[in-house]
Amino acid sequence: MSKSKDKKINKIKNRKIWPFVVSIVVSILIFAVIGVGLLEASFSNLVMSKIQALNQAIQEVDESYHECMQNGEDFQSIARNIYKFTPDVQSICVVDEKGQVVQQYGEFEPDFETLQEQVGVIDLSENGDGQGDQLWLDPMEMGLMERTSLVDDGEVYGAYCWYVRPLSESANLCIRVMIVVYQYELASIVMMVLLFFAIMVLVIGWNIFMIVRAVRQRCREKDILYTSTVTGGNNIQYFKDQAEKLLKENHRNRFNYAMISVRLEKYHNFCSCYGIKEGEELMENLFQELQRHLQNKEVAAHAAKADFALMLKYGEADNLRYRLERMVSDLKEAHPTQKLNFGVGIYWIPQKHEDVGTMYNYVEVVQETIPEDLEDHICCFEESMLDKQRWIRKVEDDMESALANREFQVYLQPKYSTREEKLSGAEALVRWIHPTEGFIPPNKFIPIFEQNGFILQLDDYMITEIARLRAKWLYEGKKIVPISVNVSRAHFTKVDLAEHICKLVDQYNVPHDMIELELTESAFFDDKDILINTVKRLKSYGFDISMDDFGAGYSSLNSLRELPLDVLKLDAEFFRGEDEEGRGDLIVGEAITLAKKLDMRIVAEGIETRKQVDALAEKNCDLIQGYYFAKPMPVEEFEKLAFPQEAK
């Protein structure tokens, strides 16, 4: 997975909700602290302003009391007067040094002892300065119960306090005043607090909205992230995350797990015949079928194209194989009118395992080793498969530069006439001289090139090289034998193949009859019309055509009937192993007779012994190619062999 894709996926997966929740909690706390503080501060401000006003009033009461006393007025009339003009005053008392109330106006009388307790020692004797002590009981300090117990209708807060003022050494004037906060006075504070809470509700509401949005978005994104656009079910991302989770949890359960890949063969072919929509429907059905086979703590997903990924539990390996066989047979029912083939790759997950992506890659590697056109296969992963894949990677990485750097070299394997045992032809065979790998034989890269199509370029290169060589020999006036070049079956999808080969050869003005083209038998199974047409045209341009590897694989005698071939190359397999009953010998003899009757020359390949040469001579075989006479060799060596006089 690319880094940026990884980053995006992780971002979606790790999108967190908790910052919003924290933000809500923090907002509530901040608002609560500030709100309560604000309320408290505003309220105490209001009360303090009232206290100040009362202070003022008390001062006035105090002064007027003294004035009236001096004027000889009696206590009751003084007190009545004060009471009348100062509504906050509830009681006015004169208390002697023992705390006994001597005079009283109003219903409340001070408990002097308690007053002393609350404000500390009231040492009245030292306060003869006429200023009076501010013996306020701080209203804010008083308990709420006390306060509310004083509250009447329309009042939200009430508190009283005693003002104590020494009159003489033996008498104190005590005035009880009341502080009341009314509802209307609180209106502005309440408005402010309401506004404040409205803002708080807005902020919290916004946060809640963000949480809901984030949760929904996360669900939506996860849905997209984990859904296959083909089957509508789980995709590979889901598979990886879920499998990783199951394996992590498995420390407790200790199940054996296997990573599985199920591939529908020739899916492209299915889509070409029935359309992509039908193809996707098939994939959807297959996925549902796979899901039906899942047990608890197993996972399946559509991985890519025609591949499904599964992680299954197992007890015995054989049981899992049996389960997979049943699974595949059910999958085949998904499209009863079409024959479906499946490849199954298994990787037995060890206790100490790699990450899911790597392990899934292993089963994909297994898939690469299952031949496409074979019946259903269940194959297990082997380390050597990775080496094979690495080799394919290396070959594919290096092939272009190898062609440009002329690392592919032409080797020639001589063909000898059976009777005279004289060099009468040669086959061009490629070798790769790799700068680091050294000499690489064709079986290590030709099958890869046939798979990836690079064989077209390589064959063109070989044909060109042979044409160039022939031109050189012609120019040098050398006696020339025909040289055959292999033409891979991959070319036979091109309608203008014959013209294409002509163009390559004509660059060097070489007569076409000096070049023979070897077609492998498998080419004869591809598009027959193109093949017949191409062979006929190549012949009309003067090339000789030979059927390579005749007798290997599925031979078709019919192709001998339909195609105007010049040469038949008997496959080396005819001459391998024991032939006690002489059946192989008989077939070779009959094949030679048949070829002769069809006016074809016959070449026996892979001849290694004198005995084989003699037997072939007896059967009238025309040419022999094999290690008995010569192995494939570099051009310079071949030149020494083919043109001995000139070489001297």
Contact call for residue 521 and Ca ion (CB under 5 A): no
**What's the CA dihedral at 22, 24, 27, 29 to 10 degrees?**
-70
Name the residue nearer to ligand C2E (CB basis): 549 or 622: 549
What is the DSSP secondary-structure string of 262-306? EEETTHHHHHHHH-HHHHHHHHHHHHHHHHHH--TT-EEEEEETT
Which listed residue (172, 486, 559, 612) binds ligand C2E by CB under 6 A? 486
Q: Checking DSSP bridges between strand 256-264 and strand 171-182, what pairing results, if any?
A: unpaired
459 binds ligand C2E (CB under 6 A): yes
In angstroms, rounded to a whole number, what is the distance separating the alpha carbons of residues 486 and 491? 11
- For residues 385 and 447, give the distance between their C-alpha atoms in angstroms, rounded to a whole number: 16
Task: Pick the closer one to ligand C2E by CB: 366 or 498.
Answer: 498
CA distance 344 to 346: 7
Instruction: Specify the 3-state DSSP secondary structure of 92.
Output: strand
**Start-to-end CA span in the chain (Å):** 63
- Max CA pair span of the chain: 170
CB under 5 to 8 A by kind: which of Ca ion, ligand C2E, none does 612 bind? none
Q: State the Cα angle at 626 between 622 and 627, rounded to 5°.
A: 145
By the rule CB under 6 A, 488 interacts with ligand C2E: yes
546 is a site residue for ligand C2E (CB under 6 A): no
Whether 69 and 78 have beta carbons less than 8 Å apart is answered as: yes
- Which of residues 367 and 413 has its CB atom nearest to Ca ion in the complex? 413
Indicate whether 455 belongs to the interface with ligand C2E (CB under 6 A).
Answer: yes
Contacts of residue 185, Cβ cutoff 8 Å, sequence gap at least 6: 46
- Contacts of Ca ion in 563-622 (CB under 5 A): 605
Can residue 549 be called a binding residue for ligand C2E (CB under 6 A)? Answer: yes
Residue 224 tokens, joined = 């997209």
Query: Nearer to ligand C2E by C-beta: 87 or 441?
Result: 441
What is the helix (H) or strand (E) element at residue 615, kind and residue range?
Answer: helix 610-618
In this structure, what token pair is assigned to residue 602?
């016959």
User: Cβ contacts of residue 259 below 8 Å, gap of 6+?
Assistant: 243, 309, 310, 311, 346, 347, 349, 356, 359, 360, 362, 363
Give the contact letters, 375-414, x = binds to ligand C2E (CB under 6 A), - = no: --------------------------------------x-
Taking alpha carbons only, the member of 49, 44, 52, 38 closest to residue 190 is: 38
Choose which of 62, 465, 518, 521 interacts with Ca ion (CB under 5 A). 518
- The identity of residue 128, as a single letter, is G
Q: How far is the CB of 394 from ligand C2E (least distance, A)?
A: 19
| Count of residues near ligand C2E by CB under 6 A | 23
Q: Does 459 bind Ca ion (CB under 5 A)?
A: no
Q: Is 454 exposed, middle or buried (0-12, 13-18, 19+ CB in 10 A)?
A: buried
From the list ligand C2E, Ca ion, none, pick the one residue 441 interacts with, judged by a Cβ distance below 5 to 8 Å according to partner type: ligand C2E
Q: Does 442 bind ligand C2E (CB under 6 A)?
A: yes
Q: How far is the CB of 426 from Ca ion (least distance, A)?
A: 11
Would you count residue 519 as binding ligand C2E (CB under 6 A)? no
Each residue 536-555 as x (binds Ca ion by CB under 5 A) or -, in order, gives ------------xx------
Beta carbon of residue 452, minimum distance to ligand C2E (angstroms, whole number): 13
Stretch that binds ligand C2E, among 29-37, 161-169, 181-189, 603-611 (CB under 6 A): 603-611
Binding to ligand C2E by CB under 6 A, coded x per residue (else -) over 553-572, reads -------------------x
Q: Which of 34, 44, 42, 21 is nearest to 196 (CA)?
A: 34
Residue 446 contacts ligand C2E per CB under 6 A? yes
Give me the 116-155 binding string for Ca ion, x by CB under 5 A, dash otherwise. ----------------------------------------
CB of 574 to ligand C2E, least distance (A): 12
* Partner touching 430 among Ca ion, ligand C2E, none, CB below 5 to 8 Å by kind: ligand C2E
Determine, following the binding rule CB under 5 A, whether residue 413 of this chain makes contact with Ca ion.
no
What is the distance between the alpha carbons of residues 531 and 299, in angstroms, rounded to a whole number?
A: 48
Binding string, 482-511, against Ca ion, x = CB under 5 A? ----x-------------------------
Q: Bridge partners of 408?
A: 432
Nearer to Ca ion, 265 or 548 (CB): 548
3-state helix, strand, coil in the chain (%, to 5): 55, 20, 25
Question: Is 548 a binder of ligand C2E (CB under 6 A)?
Answer: yes
Task: Quickly list DSSP for 542-587.
Answer: T-EEEEEEETSSS--HHHHHHS--SEEEE-GGGGSS--TTSHHHHH
> Judged by CB, which is closer to ligand C2E: 364, or 549?
549
Cβ-based nearer residue to Ca ion, 418 or 486? 486
Residue 427 CB, nearest approach to Ca ion (Å): 6
Interface map 422-441 toward ligand C2E (x if CB under 6 A)? -------xx----------x
Give contact residues for Ca ion (rule: CB under 5 A). Answer: 486, 518, 548-549, 605
Give contact residues for ligand C2E (rule: CB under 6 A). Answer: 413, 429-430, 441-443, 446, 455, 459, 462, 486, 488, 548-549, 572, 605-608, 625-627, 632
